[in-house]
Structure 1
């Protein structure tokens, strides 16, 4: 059974610290992220936005340059590292138990805005950043997007020392494309690793909200605790992802499965974080299963494609719109009588993933029209999307 922006319980198990005083949150399947564990709310005073960040996206350059490499190797890795390393920062902070945590960040502009993972700064204090040239400064959390595991800091560093990164189009990334990462794994400052894009369109979940993060990039470039929040670069030195997690059954080190939040996701929510806001994500509030020939025959459905609704979260946008759920039997099978969602705003949906993606690309407060089959009738229901709960 799959979920579309429903409330998702999540279990975290703590593993031992590795080399630095951090704790790793480990979720089902071995996905881990480095974080400080704290029950307190990591609130901070929003700072005013300074000048507009110098952040550019150049999908044309990405596509052309990557095709020239023919997915072999990075053309001149030492030159690329020299070109990009000044846009990478080391982030140090003090956790609630007094231990030091180390992560990585990306320079956004000359006003001191730094992009990183939310789990790097969640629940910490006394944040300091260090540039590759050794310059240091204090930093404060400006805005955050826990649902995408992203946050923006504002650091007190002289503008002339800050070199903004260039962001590429993560939608243009192809499997086999060469990439490299710069970060601070196990507190080893400004370390570089290289590899390829192993897969695109992966999904992972925020450890803080349970929300699914989509279009995630998978890489075999070595990532370890301390790389969190750092850049994944393409072959022309553009940031195409923010390194966020690894998957490993033993939960302790890299095994060739690293994941990065796509740059386009970061760019979508960056204006809100720069404004000092905490980003909210849209929620429909249902669970469901893909309709196929077997399910249609089993439940005597009138269609053989769509999303069969099994659960509607009370008080959710789906509940208010009047969606009807069929429930789930004791054996886990879908029960009878549920609605079938076949389109969102006129766009056909044939799977739970398609439905989730349609909701995810919309904002809180947006109104969507759901085309629904109920028995032999076709209905149009209107849902006003609520914030993720």
Structure 2
């Protein structure tokens, strides 16, 4: 459905955005750009990439997904994970009850079933009922090696046009995107209204922002680097017009879920059918704090839950968390997105400003029981 995202930018401006396959509603908050140092061997200039070779390598690993329901249906994209027929896509692509059909790159159609879904990260795994031999799984890359300006390719099923590839660059990294799914609107392919699952919840991701053209139907498709390695799953696009009617399209801004999150969640879905998420155990708001002679943004702790990882580590109400594992935290949404990338039981170093002074605190993340 062409449902809206109300997106609150760091500058205070707002715009609307949609999931790129037409399902769901979201609010996207734009944080700071993270630039990482990469080995030159990991970075390919757009002029040196053979995009034809990259497309030929990746396209057999990307599929079209059609969901038929009693009231209509919709389409999205997916990426083959293994030769057993496991495919990753977005939760909002397959959330409704219905019949799933997967179309391979060569045009063959197969029925599929849902292995597990995770509304908290907007990820899902489906599996072909009778997978053929010769399936080509995607090669999974490391999103932590990405740099801003690096060329990338999006592969998917926009507007029902299977096997479409577009190129662009990494526009920003660790862009906090908060998506709240809700009902309303019509399907991309002119179908009936797309109802949302009751367990729908806020999806917070520190996303990869890309200029590669992403349009409705790309949800669940691949974002790859010049070597054809998966570095993200395409998930949402903004709608600068802010109209609840009509259909959002590419405006040079798209968001993808990084492979750090994809691997963490899909491994759990394939083995357990559900995903468990790490939790710090605080309530926080976006705040500012004096840090030396400067003023910086961070996640200001409003409440510490009794018995939580934060309490055990010594986090106090009023602390402002400005980094996690050395990565800058400039908002409460940014903090949630970074915790989403961590596993239950993982030790993390939090940099907090307390009484005007920085200090590092080590916390062992607990389990978010509400997501299990």
Retained in 2: the 8 A contact 1:88–1:230? yes
Residue 188 and residue 382 in structure 1: after superposition, are their counterparts in 2 closer, same or farther (change >3 A)?
Answer: closer
Which whole-Å CA distance do the structure 2 matches of 1:76 and 1:370 have between them?
41
Instruction: Give the match's secondary structure for 1:292.
Output: strand
**Residues 1:232 and 2:218 are matched in the alignment:** no
The equivalent residue for 1:287 is 284
The equivalent residue for 2:3 is 24
Retained in 1: the 8 A contact 2:119–2:203? no
Residue 261 and residue 26 in structure 1: after superposition, are their counterparts in 2 closer, same or farther (change >3 A)?
Answer: same
- The alpha carbon displacement at 1:180 in A equals 1.2
State which drifts further: 159-168 or 284-293: 284-293
- The alpha carbon displacement at 1:174 in A equals 1.4
Residue 286 and residue 180 in structure 1: after superposition, are their counterparts in 2 closer, same or farther (change >3 A)?
Answer: same
Write the mapping of 1:333-344 to structure 2, written as runs, cut at 5 A: 338-339=318-319
The equivalent residue for 2:141 is 168
Could you list the runs of 5+ residues in structure 1 that have no partner in the other structure?
A: 1-21, 39-61, 297-303, 326-337
Retained in 1: the 8 A contact 2:154–2:223? yes
Residue 132 and residue 364 in structure 1: after superposition, are their counterparts in 2 closer, same or farther (change >3 A)?
Answer: same
Residue 212 and residue 229 in structure 1: after superposition, are their counterparts in 2 closer, same or farther (change >3 A)?
Answer: same
Instruction: Give the match's secondary structure for 1:147.
Output: coil
Retained in 2: the 8 A contact 1:167–1:238? yes
| 1:219 aligned residue (205, 210, 215) | 210
Could you list the runs of 5+ residues in structure 2 that have no partner in the other structure?
A: 8-14, 26-37, 181-199, 243-247
Which whole-Å CA distance do the structure 2 matches of 1:233 and 1:243 have between them?
10
The TM-score normalised by the length of structure 1 is 0.69
Retained in 2: the 8 A contact 1:286–1:318? no
The TM-score normalised by the length of structure 2 is 0.72
Q: How many residue pairs are counted as aligned between the two chains? A: 321
Retained in 1: the 8 A contact 2:66–2:74? yes
- The alpha carbon displacement at 1:349 in A equals 8.4
- The alpha carbon displacement at 1:156 in A equals 2.3
Q: Which has the higher strand share?
A: 2
- The alpha carbon displacement at 1:119 in A equals 1.2
- The alpha carbon displacement at 1:197 in A equals 1.4
Which whole-Å CA distance do the structure 2 matches of 1:77 and 1:384 have between them?
41
Instruction: Give the match's secondary structure for 2:53.
Output: helix
Retained in 2: the 8 A contact 1:35–1:122? no
Which whole-Å CA distance do the structure 2 matches of 1:348 and 1:259 have between them?
19
CA RMSD across the alignment = 3.9
